């Protein structure tokens, strides 16, 4: 506990990988938002294992069954819950648990924390499958932001040592980000994407996995969103992004590279463009001390390689307290970065949407025609 | 809003840089913790501007006036509030505000957000001075963790392009961390520290500033602390760490470098040592999916260079909506990484302490003698 | 928003009366609690419309479909979600909405708040049906408290002007409370119950409804649970109890009657009994300034009469902004107090369970055998 | 813990009765609210012990020292903290503690909860003195509501068995409420107030105390504020009101009396008046299922008699575990209802203000002239 986050916009996720269903409740979205369900489902399909060469063999339709909070496709202002049935679990693949925890997974600490009571099949509640429920909430937040003029996009910046062209911090090419979504590896440079694909396949062939970095941009937000300190955009967005399993690093704007700069180089000077205050460059990634400054928000998220590999690994038998070898079968992604892109977009959107609602409240901006 | 964080352990900070006082309330610490006040004050002195060559010229005693929550130096279980008087503000240095926002500072978004009502003198509530109040709370969390056998330490890993020896993730040398605290730049390698000091002084001489990276370790925590997802150690610790002004990146364990590794290299195999489950290496930084695994926790925090520099910078006149030049006088640190070390230790400790209390509750572990 | 409450123990409810399903997520219960599912279902059946003469004609099985958080009937420490399908909605009964709000219902303010987007069929998310989901969470809290030695019971103190024997504040007869659960109107005095039943039937025959008062007792809790002020037992329990639709009053111990007493009469003197500190009487209802004192907790909850009646009522046409008459058809309870008893027990239990977990944390008290 | 409440508007109180100071932080109020400090101080003086015949002999100025969140008397949007020094404690009066807990006070459970570490002098953090800090926050919420057109008033409905004229639920006479504030006992009927004063003096003469009931009205709020269930007006207002020490009952509108009514009598029919939707009567107290309906909000709050009396009482020696007699000296109010009126008004205002901000956000409605 607690699989819940948010102040003006609450997200609660629930479910286990091999339980009957997983799901999410999103609480706080104003009434009157017309939800584009096909677009939401298409968004979730970006995360789905497409059964191709790069993803797990598990087959789930991943279509949300929305239980509440929408009427005729429009938000009612009440909590929105969707569930996703688990129809294709293979619990037999996990017979080594709870005795032999898998390296890189949460098995061992989960056993200790729960005194053995946690459900570990398919990683249980710790599974990456839960990001489907989380992405459902994120997809709604993205649609809400879009209704207020803000858009979020992402690409794979790095996989297996191969680097994509970074986004232009002053003017991230959102159209290019949207266009590359259908690629096997969404990158700005198709060549980089193809080389990443090769790197993933090579790892897969070796029974191994690779990590990578996602870069996300949000544009169209006004200056002045957020707060200093604990509800700053950075703090809240990082809490969301680090909640995605496998994330080990988050940086905004120039990020870690800023550490090597001097202030005279790093500070973004102000200028006037078309009667608006802008900055001349954007090393801050659109964020000054927790607040948006009106420039594009840039964040990079580092993912460790998928923990599940089919190579033999050293672990321990907890019952015998002695070392042993473990070979994990089952269905796993050799690289989760591609599928994680919509999850990370949604995570950032949830943070921004929460802060937007803190600033503007949940009063609908438009009344229903016949009221 | 909201300058508040935490679930089982709440931190509320308040105050403006040039207001009467700043302060913090820490709510949730169990009764019966004997607070070492001299140690707490010494901890805060590590953050204080010592008036030396590396720090701001502002002079404050930075001694907490504790208003509540302690009796005879022992926590009562009630909220602990301390205030720090502001005795040396120079508001005249900020006459350019609110018309000309400083690049790199939160001035401009704060003006937009507050429609001009925010107090910007000395950065107001956005000021790094607030980290003093935050560090007070952090110092208490560190003492609580110490009472449960866990310790936290840090060093400067990088300033101005100069790198210190990184910590050994399997066995961070906590004694060395404690020992180097008194250095001008606390590093494991004195030579690196001296070169960093030179880099800071060079920047200062140029009227400029530098950024850097802090590395923090926490040892002595049991496996199983934390939660998957939103109250994972990574999510909560990142929310705390990104609340420190100037932080632009946070990574755990191998962090961004993990993105280039394969799973077979990254995963930390389990082993048995002295009848305990350990990992053979520690690329995870002691954290698996939000939960501690019993190994040392390792986190690195990137700080952008100090926003305040005395070189002339381009900004805008908000009233005239035209571009102008700004030269900021006043007293500023050419590098805040050294002073930020105790703040970051405290931030990590607050996250860990919150999760510890979620697991164990706030019932005192020891009764008062005469009860 | 927000249909969520709790700090160490979070309850999120969702769903609309005529939507696909309603449900609840309970987050924070420690791993290792063996849930008695038949008992939980029996508990929910106490709330169910039994189709008898006193209740709505709506037919739902009201059997929870548990989606998460239990393995082999034992809590895993992860969020527990249950859903209840809506299989018998009659939306045609609500054709007068949204134009003609029903007196006594939330229709009108819900329309204003949501600008007309809220789902009002069968009262939508505002429906008493949501108390089924809430009672599911409450039933789990009751089982948790029972595992720690505390029990909660209730009876109808008053309906239609008929009064039952009040509980003995020093020693509420819990066995009698458990025994009377199966009665049409659970009372300590069967005669009082029978007269209440007559009063309900008389109202029903008139197309009308009646209100009433429930009295709840919790025994077996140690002294020292709770907090002063905002997380006092009274504050948290009242927040839970006033969340039950139709509740208009809550009082603890002597309650409103205490207002007419003198301190020398009201204060409960301390005494020693069997080497334990007790009070000689219990006008405080077991609660002193937010904290339990170890004596039975007593609370009374006042319910207004059911808002839905079949008599003609005066309302307005919102579109025409003129007054009109409304006769509501559909299926309604002439009195909801009897069905509300388990809901109110659960509400109190959730508050107490949250405070128990704040004090003791969510670490399991017992390990799984094979760990 | 936790002496904190609120979602969009957070209140944190701190301090002990005999510590250096008490205080409160109010976090979430929008920037740009011009605070009327003399009015705020006058509001707090209504709560102050005026040294007259009805109140404690303790002398404190009770003037807030505002540390943060205001600039030139206008809110900055940052947390507002005020402290009140404790200048007149008499700790010698409490030498019987911690051995002999006072009946009616939180001494005994506080000792158990804190294992003896809590500060009990003058009731420590549990003291009614903390309501001064709470009233400071409440006074700001009242001024915020007033800036949005809503006002809150109260009177003593009952003390010592003497009843005042109840408010007209359709049109509570706010001017009369404001006018009677200066009376020794603020009532609508001066005769009732005089008889209450006699009842208080009679109790005082006997070394005893009396309880009473306050009635509070809030007018000017729009329909549609609040939420169903856990953040309904009733739930949140009750959580605030039950946080005031000595409160044992809260009811809205017809309250407990509603339990004896039939639905056809209780339901408030809708009508149209001056092109607005109104109800013909107001038994609901302006609240339908957690939401305001636009009619005046009516709430009654029952206070037990002051726990501190100078008559001898039976208690126990905790060290000897045997029964004993206790006579408490010190300075106490024979009745706290009069002083509690502004506290209760503030409590209700804080709940309403939180819900207002949830609906509308914290964006300032008016910009500063020179921005």
Percent of chain C clearing pLDDT 70 (strictly above): 96
Q: Cβ distance D162 to D210 under 8 Å?
A: no
For residue A67, is pLDDT > 90?
yes
Taking CB atoms and an 8 Å limit, are D80 and B14 in contact across chains? yes
Average pLDDT of chain B, as a whole number: 95
Query: Would you say residue C365 lies in a domain?
Result: no
Q: How many other CB atoms are there within 10 angstroms of residue A171's CB atom?
A: 12
pLDDT score recorded for residue B289? 95
pLDDT score recorded for residue C241? 98
Taking contacts as CB-CB distances below 8 angstroms, the residues of chain A near C71 are 16, 117-119
Question: d(Cα B302, Cα B210) in Å, to the nearest integer?
Answer: 12
Query: Would you say residue C366 lies in a domain?
Result: no
Domain that holds residue D281: 4-360
pLDDT score recorded for residue C61? 85
Assess A360–C contact: CB distance below 8 Å, yes or no.
Answer: no
pLDDT score recorded for residue C51? 55
Taking CB atoms and an 8 Å limit, are B262 and A210 in contact across chains? yes
pLDDT of A229-279, one tens digit each? 999 999 999 999 999 999 999 999 999 999 999 999 999 999 999 999 999
Taking contacts as CB-CB distances below 8 angstroms, the residues of chain D near A359 are 361-363
pLDDT of D45-86, one tens digit each? 999 966 567 766 667 789 999 999 999 999 999 999 999 999
Segment D327-355 shows an average pLDDT of 93
pLDDT score recorded for residue B371? 60
- In degrees, rounded to 5, the angle at the alpha carbon of residue C345 between the alpha carbons of residues C64 and C126 is 60
Q: How far away is chain D from the Cα of C72, in angstroms, using its nearest Cα?
A: 31
For residue B204, is pLDDT > 90?
yes
pLDDT score recorded for residue D371? 60
Query: Would you say residue A369 lies in a domain?
Result: no
For residue B105, is pLDDT > 60?
yes
Q: How many domains does chain A have?
A: 1
Give the one of C116, C117, C367 whose C-beta lies nearest to A115's C-beta.
C367
| C residues 90..129 contacting D (CB < 8 A) | 101, 103-106, 108-114, 125-126
Q: What is the pTM of this model?
A: 0.98
At residue B154 the predicted structure's pLDDT band, cuts being 50, 70 and 90, is very high
Answer positive or negative: Cα dihedral of D198, D200, D201, D205. Answer: positive
Assess D4–A contact: CB distance below 8 Å, yes or no.
Answer: no
Taking CB atoms and an 8 Å limit, are A1 and C78 in contact across chains? yes
Question: With a cut of 70, which residues of chain C have pLDDT below it?
Answer: 1, 49-52, 55-58, 369-371
Question: d(Cα C292, Cα C148) in Å, to the nearest integer?
Answer: 15
- Asked whether the ipTM of the predicted complex exceeds the cut of 0.90, the reply is yes
At residue A49 the predicted structure's pLDDT band, cuts being 50, 70 and 90, is low
Residue of A nearest to D364 (CA): A359
Segment B214-238 shows an average pLDDT of 97
| B residues 33..72 contacting D (CB < 8 A) | 65-69, 71
For residue B144, is pLDDT > 70?
yes
pLDDT score recorded for residue D223? 98
H-only helix segments in chain D:
37-47, 107-114, 130-147, 174-179, 190-205, 233-241, 263-266, 337-360
Taking contacts as CB-CB distances below 8 angstroms, the residues of chain B near C363 are 359-360
Query: Would you say residue D67 lies in a domain?
Result: yes
Taking CB atoms and an 8 Å limit, are A357 and D361 in contact across chains? yes
Mutate to test the interface with A, among D358, D364, D367 (most CBs of A within 10 A): D358
Segment B308-332 shows an average pLDDT of 92
Q: Tokens representing C358?
A: 């704040």
Query: Would you say residue C367 lies in a domain?
Result: no
Query: Would you say residue A366 lies in a domain?
Result: no
Query: Would you say residue B369 lies in a domain?
Result: no
Q: Cβ distance A244 to A343 under 8 Å?
A: yes
| CATH code for position D286 | 3.60.150.10
Taking contacts as CB-CB distances below 8 angstroms, the residues of chain C near B360 are 360-361, 363
At residue D19 the predicted structure's pLDDT band, cuts being 50, 70 and 90, is very high
Query: Would you say residue A367 lies in a domain?
Result: no
Taking CB atoms and an 8 Å limit, are C362 and B358 in contact across chains? yes
Q: Tokens representing B108?
A: 């401009």
For residue D370, is pLDDT > 80?
no
Segment A63-84 shows an average pLDDT of 97
List, in order, residues 6 or more apart from D27 with CB less than 8 Å away: B1, B2, B3, B4, B12, B14, D6, D9, D10, D11, D12, D79, D80
Q: Cβ distance C30 to C84 under 8 Å?
A: no
Question: d(Cα D147, Cα D360) in Å, to the nearest integer?
Answer: 14
List, in order, residues 6 or more apart from A116 with CB less than 8 Å away: A98, C367, C368, C370, C371
At residue B56 the predicted structure's pLDDT band, cuts being 50, 70 and 90, is low
């Amino acid at each position: 506990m607690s699989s819940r986050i948010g102040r003006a916009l609450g997200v609660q996720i629930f479910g286990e990988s091999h339980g009957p269903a997983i799901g999410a409740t999103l609480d706080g979205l104003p009434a009157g938002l017309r939800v584009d369900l096909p677009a939401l489902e298409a968004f979730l399909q970006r995360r789905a294992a497409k059964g191709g060469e790069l993803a797990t063999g598990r087959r789930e339709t991943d279509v949300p069954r929305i239980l509440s909070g929408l009427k005729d496709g429009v938000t009612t202002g009440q909590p929105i819950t969707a569930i996703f049935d688990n129809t294709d679990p293979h619990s037999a693949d996990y017979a080594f648990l709870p005795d032999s925890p898998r390296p890189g997974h949460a098995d061992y600490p989960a056993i200790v924390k729960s005194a053995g009571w946690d459900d570990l099949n398919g990683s249980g509640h710790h599974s990456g499958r839960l990001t489907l429920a989380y992405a459902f909430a994120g997809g709604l937040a993205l649609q809400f932001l879009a209704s207020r003029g803000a858009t979020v996009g992402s690409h794979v910046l790095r996989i297996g040592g191969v680097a994509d062209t970074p986004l232009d911090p002053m003017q991230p090419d959102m159209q290019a980000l949207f266009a590359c979504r259908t690629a096997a590896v969404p990158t700005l440079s198709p060549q980089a994407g193809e080389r990443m694909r090769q790197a993933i396949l090579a790892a897969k062939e070796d029974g191994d996995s690779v990590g990578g970095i996602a870069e996300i941009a949000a544009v169209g937000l006004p200056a002045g969103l957020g707060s200093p300190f604990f509800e700053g955009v950075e703090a809240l967005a990082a809490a969301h992004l680090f909640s995605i399993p496998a994330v080990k690093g988050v940086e905004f704007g120039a990020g870690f590279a800023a550490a090597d700069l001097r202030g005279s180089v790093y500070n973004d000077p102000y200028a006037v463009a078309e009667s608006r205050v802008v900055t001349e460059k954007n090393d801050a990634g659109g964020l000054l001390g927790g607040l948006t400054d009106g420039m594009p928000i840039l964040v990079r998220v580092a993912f460790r390689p998928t923990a599940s590999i089919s190579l033999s690994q050293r672990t321990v038998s907890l019952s015998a307290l002695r070392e042993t070898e473990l070979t994990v079968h089952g269905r796993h992604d050799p690289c989760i970065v591609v599928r994680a892109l919509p999850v990370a977009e949604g995570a950032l959107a949830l943070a921004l949407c929460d802060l937007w609602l803190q600033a503007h409240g949940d009063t609908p901006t438009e009344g229903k025609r016949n009221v």
